[in-house]
Structure 1
Amino acid sequence: MGHDQAQHGGKFAWSELDIFSAFVYGFGDLNCHQKHERSWVINENQMPVCTRDIGIFAGIFVGGLIFRKRGLNRWTIRDSIISVLPDEKVEPFYFNDRRFLLAFGGIALLLLPTALDGGIQAVSDYESTNLKRLITGFPMGVGVGLLFAGVFAANPKPFEFDAGRVILPANARLVPSVEPTDDKISEIATQTETDTTAGDSEE
């Protein structure tokens, strides 16, 4: 951290800046190489992150907005992610139980442009451009944004831990994978005994 940008064509080390600027550039340094030739310069100031990261952060913001507008808590992460898509479009994936493929395969496809652009650049003489980095970073950010939104949204508590209350496309239902606890079994047995006693009394 605090690397000297003069080594990459820049003119500063963020550790030499004022506290506010140092915080901004220090945050960028945590997740970005901050290479001068891969960053935009605005008003003679190099941005704290490269153009690809700008695309990624913009995509995360858009992914969050999409989930906020269309996303639902559907108990599981995969079903919560899928909820941003129209129900009628995803019904075939529920009929064939390919929801995992749709949710995480879709996110993988959104990551692919960045993986290809950055990967090919790393192992060959190909050199991307800042515009390409921005464009390929954006879908990755959307995927990351949707993933994090799905992770934070998925919560069984609003359904009182009853998977049968979750409404899914194609009238699909979640199957609880957790066995009933001893307390729950005792509660059911007590209720059954009470109902039986009440029935005998009526006779």
Structure 2
Amino acid sequence: MPDQRKLLYGIILVLTGVTVMVGLGGGLFNQANPWPLQWQHQAFNSLCHQMVDRSFWINGQPMAVCSRCIGIYGGFAMGWMVLPVLSYYQVKGIASIQKIVVLVLLLNIVDASGDFLDLWKNTLTSRLILGSLLGGSTAMIFSGDFFHQN
């Protein structure tokens, strides 16, 4: 992998890790001010609905994002860390990965729609798992951009 790609990969890895840490909210940092005023919640207020009943809690405070969003961010971070392994094993087939992303996106839409229409009630865990699958599969799309055999 050329040095520019290594640098970009590393920058994205660090930024993704920071995003996950910030998404965990003020409870992780033992902040005392009310959670809606914490900078972590302000950072994500235009990206996530931040409904407290749909968020995991840390140290008595809700995360800055809902369980599905923390799953997406965490799944992307984990998927990003796996990219070098995929390269080592020469995993190919970006078209297959794109199909998986579409399938997982549709599963998230069906899950959210079913809950909205009161067909079922999803849980924090089900949202986290589906979000993680979406984030992780999305990261896999970039495997050909950073790691490919010349």
The TM-score normalised by the length of structure 2 is 0.63
Note the C-alpha offset of 1:84. 5.5
Letter in 1 for 2:67: T
Aligned twin of 1:134 = 128
Q: What do you get for the CA RMSD once the two structures are aligned?
A: 3.0
- Between Structure 1 and Structure 2, whose CA radius of gyration is higher? 1
Letter in 2 for 1:65: M
**Quick one: which of 38, 45, 68 aligns to 1:52?**
68
Note the C-alpha offset of 1:70. 2.1
Aligned twin of 2:116 = 122
The TM-score normalised by the length of structure 1 is 0.49
For residues 11-65 of structure 1, the C-alpha deviation after alignment (integer angstroms, 9 at most, x for no partner) is x563xx3xxx32x111221211000110112211111001111111111011101
Comparing 58-67 with 104-113, greater Cα deviation is found at 104-113
1:34 lines up with 2:50 in the alignment: yes
Instruction: Return 5+ residue gaps in structure 1 as ranges.
Output: 1-11, 73-82, 91-98, 156-165, 168-203
Which whole-Å CA distance do the structure 2 matches of 1:122 and 1:84 have between them? 41
Higher relative contact order (CA 8 A, sep 6+): 2
Which whole-Å CA distance do the structure 2 matches of 1:30 and 1:146 have between them? 26
1:153 lines up with 2:146 in the alignment: yes
Letter in 2 for 1:116: V
Count of residues paired in the alignment? 118
Note the C-alpha offset of 1:67. 1.1
Note the C-alpha offset of 1:150. 4.0
The alignment-based identity, stated in percent, is 23
